[in-house]
Amino acid sequence: MFDLRSDTVTKPSKEILESALDAELGDDEYIEDPTVNSLEDECANLLGFEKGLFVSSGLMGNQISLLIHNDPGTEVITPHDSHIKNYEHGAAAFLSRVQFRDAEHVDGELDLDYVEKLILKSKVHKPVIKTVSIENTHLASGGSIVTFESIKSLSNLVRQHELMLHVDGARIWHAILDGNNNMNYGSYCDSLTFCFSKALGAPIGSILLGSEQFIKEAREFRKKLGGGMRQVGVIASMARIALQNREIILEDHAKAKKVYEFLNSSLNNEKIERIVYKGTNMIFLNIKNEEDPNKLLDILYNESIKAGLIGEKSIRLVFHKDILNTDIEEICNKLVHSSSKF
């Protein structure tokens, strides 16, 4: 079975698992686990922030950021199809009790004039806007890269209006390693979270980055949410190896590109309106409105391909380290064969 539902399905390599055996450990609730402390420092240094906090998941990092940046009843501007709004089990309503204000965007890059209009309109009848949250890479657009230039311009606007800028960088390394090499997020953003447990191949964990004061508060919220753990170095050591090997994700981009080029020239089914590839590790097959994408998902499953559904009509194929280069030809043939039966 080829599992293309997500890059979260990647399993840790032997090298990653073995690193846990030799990890130096301590009680992280007392900030005494040297492996965790050094991972937090390393991530903060890499992306230009003062401090880091190891958290159990991307969701926890995103939601702690909202808890700190917002008060109940205030608003967060974000792309209408962002993960933080749509795919976090209503956590923002449950925890920080904020509302989301949809922003127009192209491939995850917000329209700044529109954002400014939203901010100015927030006076009188509309709630106060406290935070802007973007996603890089932007999942719902097909894993598109939000350019660093656009982040700088957004940061400028956000700072003019004294708001906070959060980056859901679950897949930030896909954006950084593929061309957009500026890593100095800390100079332009107030908080950022990224995940070790997706394409990088660690089994668990994410990092939350921000100022010293932000991380102090984040540590308290993590505790309140039950995310304070003890000898976390066993997990952090695995995350560290995964991070060191981060260049592997460029191979995923190459695999996705190869499949995209093949599908583009060979897949011919009018029920599939568009094949979307945004240069990272995902391909979307956009299914025509009147057609049922679940039918194609079932056909693919019977051909030993697990694929995911994103939104109502997009079938998502994600390439990751557990899909080998030698699998690609077979996957291409299976995709074309399945679509001919759809």
Ligand X SMILES: Cc1ncc(COP(=O)(O)O)c(C=O)c1O
Instruction: Report the C-alpha gap between 84 and 66 in whole angstroms.
Output: 10
Among 83, 130, 166, 278, binds ligand X (CB under 6 A): 83
Among 4, 76, 139, 154, binds ligand X (CB under 6 A): 139
Q: How many residues bind ligand X (CB under 6 A)?
A: 13
| The one-letter amino acid at 154 | L
Give the binding range for ligand X (CB under 6 A) out of 57-65, 173-181, 242-250, 298-306.
57-65
The least distance separating ligand X from the CB of residue 248, rounded to whole angstroms, comes to: 18
Own/partner pairs for 41-48, CB < 8 Å, 24+ apart?
A: 42/240, 42/243, 43/194, 43/207, 43/209, 43/243, 44/186, 44/209, 46/183, 47/172, 47/183, 47/184, 47/185, 47/186, 47/192, 47/209, 48/183, 48/184, 48/185, 48/186, 48/187
Among 119, 195, 285, 331, binds ligand X (CB under 6 A): 195
CB 315 within 8 A of CB 288: no
Give the binding range for ligand X (CB under 6 A) out of 21-29, 58-66, 73-81, 126-134.
58-66
Nearer to ligand X, 25 or 140 (CB): 140
Instruction: Report the C-alpha gap between 64 and 185 in whole angstroms.
Output: 18
β partners of residue 131: 76, 164
The least distance separating ligand X from the CB of residue 172, rounded to whole angstroms, comes to: 10
- Site residues for ligand X, 206-245, by CB under 6 A, read 206
**How many separate helices (H) and strands (E) can be counted in the chain?**
13, 15
Nearest position to ligand X, beta carbon: 58
Among 3, 5, 8, 99, binds ligand X (CB under 6 A): 8
Among 28, 33, 75, 135, binds ligand X (CB under 6 A): 135
Q: Is 59 in the site for ligand X (CB under 6 A)?
A: yes
- The tokens describing 164, both together, are 């906070």
Nearer to ligand X, 102 or 303 (CB): 102
Chain residues binding ligand X by CB under 6 A are 8, 57-59, 62, 83, 135, 139, 168, 170, 195, 197, 206
